[in-house]
Amino acid sequence: MNINELESKLNNINNQLNQNKIETIIDNINYKTHNLKHELYYQNENKKYKQLISQFSKAYLEISDFYVGEELPRQTYLDSKKDVIELIQLFIIGAIFEPYINAYYEKYCINN
């Protein structure tokens, strides 16, 4: 085997790995920036909510409709009935297609 050819192949692999690392780092930065924007929005709204409830007595707050506690609750994926139903549907679809996915994997991925 030619040493120069082997060296060029190794350099190509090294360049590809470095490029993948850079893309992964950029993706992580974008994800963290996106999460930071949501967190800053939540903190701002929570601050406004705390200022609003500080104007009322504890007894009045407990009988009012807008009071949800000392702080605003954070939103999660399973907050509504629609979200729970959607998640269950995804699990059912996954269970139905699991044999087909396994068959595909065994036929095309394991034998290669």
Q: Look up tokens 């999660």; give the residue.
A: 76
Which 8-state DSSP code applies to residue 71?
S
- Listing DSSP states for 25-75 in one string gives HHHHHHHHHHHHHHHHHHHHHHHHHHHHHTTS-HHHHHHSSS---SSPPPP
For the range 94-99, what are the long-range contacts, defined as Cβ-Cβ under 8 Å and sequence gap of 24 or more?
A: none
Highest mean predicted confidence (pLDDT) among 32-36, 82-86, 106-110: 82-86
Question: What pLDDT is stored for residue 52 in this prediction?
Answer: 92
pLDDT in tens, 45-84: 999 999 999 999 999 998 988 899 899 988 877 888 898 9
Question: What pLDDT is stored for residue 97 in this prediction?
Answer: 92
pTM: 0.50
